[in-house]
Structure 1
């Protein structure tokens, strides 16, 4: 799959703005620039299809929309930069490594230990997008990361296609089953979003998109022949990625 097939490819001018956004957050010194370059390089890896610079940019813009609901919006922005900085398609391990990377690089920059601890904690929130009640920073990060779910139907379809492409190594039946399980779990929650803005402006469209995907995946699974033995060595299926 070529880079042209990626989800919402970022324009060159947007990439420049993204680098400027990091400098505004982290500073202009040499170490900050070096860390920013490393992060941009990670988000630009060839194997990525959804978790690309475009996702990073759109999530940061969503944080801008929600910033008044955060307790420490800078901590949230750092967490956006680090939350999928490691993405190899290994659920759980990727989050562990992203947390470790955030701790290491922010310590290298000499950031306050309290900030570092909060950023690492927030990266962990994106494992299941279920912040605890009263966790304002976690609510903003989770909602910003899931704001893609509330896109127009054609954009949502592009998003699901990009996520499927990232998990290409999983057979269709395994991926569909895993995706369905997580979608249904999210839909069973009273709210997908945790901020006032997210619930008012993103929740209805997101639920509509997800229900349509659940219906499509259910029909595809029903029509697919059941294999004589479990594919993929019985491994756990991938999660639905926000």
Structure 2
């Protein structure tokens, strides 16, 4: 966890330097606590860390990298696998914490982006395309990390009867596999698409 915290703290206080949050340490602490909740196994500090590291490698391609980074911080700030309005609650939490520090335009844009991580619908908005692709980058992870990811998701849904979980999970992964292309940006299509489809095929074939 410590290796994640070092990077996360640097990211957050660079955002503070850009946006001038009124209570940066308080909000940082609340977000770290949120991503450390016991019902989480995948939607954790590790996921946030992986998203932010990936963002840093492509930020030159973004129009407003700071806004994308802030949206990533809050996109899973509320997560309960037994409800369906996590994105809405995450967007509302973002507004609650930072509305006094940001312009209304930035607040509305980031809220809209957080809500978009629910359905991952096609968009022609470049920064949002990258945000959504980053959120799905785990599907193109190394075989070891992808296997860990699958175990983490199963752990979050341990409350579901195992046979039902396996059916529903394969439906989700089949949807990703059948989406052509899976990723919306050219960068992710070139660098992540093939690996993600290989990982997904392996699960769907029962390997």
For 1:71-110, what aligned pairs fall within 5 Å after superposition?
A: 71-108=63-100, 110=101
1:122 aligns with 2:113: yes
Decide whether aligned partners of structure 1 residues 92 and 196 sit closer, same or farther in structure 2, where only a CA change above 3 A counts: same
| Residue 216 of structure 1: aligned partner | 206
User: Tell me, which stretches of 5 or more residues in structure 1 are unaligned?
Assistant: 1-9, 218-242
- Contact conserved, 2:7 with 2:49, CA < 8 A, in 1? no
Cα distance in structure 1, aligned partners of 2:11 and 2:36: 16
2:40 aligned partner? 48
What's the offset of the Cα at 1:69? 2.9
Q: Report what 2:138 is aligned to.
A: 148
- Deviation per CA, 1:189-225: give whole Å up to 9, x if none: 21111112111111101000011111229xxxxxxxx
Q: How many Å apart are 1:36 and its aligned residue? A: 1.2
Runs of 4+ aligned structure 1 residues displaced above 3 Å come to: 27-30
2:103 corresponds to: 112
| CA shift for structure 1 position 21 | 1.1
CA contact (8 A) 1:122 1:137 kept: no
Q: Which residue of 1 aligns with 2:57?
A: 65
Give the alignment's TM-score, normalised by structure 1. Answer: 0.79
Residue in structure 2 matched with residue 165 of structure 1 by the alignment: 155
Displacement of 1:155 after TM fit? 1.3
Asked whether the 8 Å contact 2:21–2:98 carries over to 1, the reply is no
Which residue matches 2:122?
131
2: CA distance, partners of 1:23 / 1:201: 30
Q: CA deviation at 1:184?
A: 1.7
Cα separation, 1, equivalents of 2:61 and 2:93: 27
Give me the CA root mean square deviation. 1.7
Give the drift of 1:26: 2.3
CA contact (8 A) 2:4 2:45 kept: no
Q: Match for residue 233 of structure 1? A: none
Q: Distance in 2 between matches of 1:131 and 1:20?
A: 32
Change (3 A) 1:184 1:29: closer
8 Å CA contact 1:193, 1:203 repeated in 2: yes
String of CA shifts for 1:123-169, please: whole Å, max 9, x gaps.
Answer: 1111122331x211111111111111111112111110011001110
- Equivalents in 2 of 1:150, 1:29: separation in Å? 34
Instruction: Give the unaligned 5+ runs of structure 2.
Output: none
Selected match of 1:21 from 11, 14, 18: 11
In 2, distance between residues paired with 1:179 and 1:164? 9
CA 1:89/1:114 → structure 2, altered by over 3 Å: closer, same or farther?
same
State the TM-score, normalized to the length of structure 2.
0.92
Specify the SS of the correspondent of 2:200.
helix
